[in-house]
């Protein structure tokens, strides 16, 4: 169960870093740059821990898809981004893909 906790924290760290990256002004502002890079470092560290007990393909599918969904939701809420129907369909396929990988993704 600790694996899923690490994965959740990795997703939070990655999405926080992605949300902060705009405030770095091309990595020229020190504090936002340090925060962004720290979030990414924590995220990758935790993802590496998760990969010890969960197949990498599964951990990465969950991590990356969740990151895309969370960043998209944050963009809508924080930055007033409007999603067109094509984007919503694409996000739906993304979720379906992760579900299919979780159900049928047995790599031998």
Predicted confidence (pLDDT) per residue in 65-84, tens digit? 999 999 999 999 988 999 99
Can you tell me the distance from the alpha carbon of 49 to that of 69, in angstroms, rounded to the nearest whole number? 22
Tokens in use for 87? 């984007």
Cα separations in angstroms, 94 against 23, 29, 45, 63? 28, 34, 24, 12
Q: Which residue has the tokens 């705009």?
A: 22
pLDDT given at position 103: 85
The enclosing H or E element of 78 equals helix 56-79
**8 A C-beta contact, residue 9 and residue 63:** no
Residue 108 pLDDT > 60 = no
pLDDT given at position 102: 82
pLDDT given at position 26: 94
Can you tell me the distance from the alpha carbon of 25 to that of 43, in angstroms, rounded to the nearest whole number? 22
**What are residue 59's phi and psi, to 5 degrees?**
-60, -45
Q: What is the number of structural domains in the chain?
A: 1
pLDDT band, very low/low/confident/very high, at 107 (cuts 50, 70, 90): low
Which residues form the domain of 77? 2-104
pLDDT given at position 11: 96
pLDDT given at position 43: 97
Kindly report, residue by residue over 12-46, the tens digit of the pLDDT: 999 999 999 989 999 999 999 999 999 999 999 99
């Amino acid at each position: 169960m600790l694996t899923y906790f690490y994965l959740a924290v990795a997703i939070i760290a990655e999405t926080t870093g992605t949300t902060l990256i705009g405030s770095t002004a091309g990595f020229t502002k020190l504090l936002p740059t340090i925060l962004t890079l720290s979030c990414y470092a924590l995220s990758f560290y935790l993802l590496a821990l998760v990969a010890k007990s969960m197949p990498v393909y599964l951990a990465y599918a969950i991590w990356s898809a969740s990151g895309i969904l969370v960043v998209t939701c944050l963009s809508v809420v924080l930055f007033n981004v409007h999603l067109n129907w094509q984007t919503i369909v694409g996000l739906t396929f993304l979720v379906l893909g992760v579900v299919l990988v979780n159900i049928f993704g047995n790599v031998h």
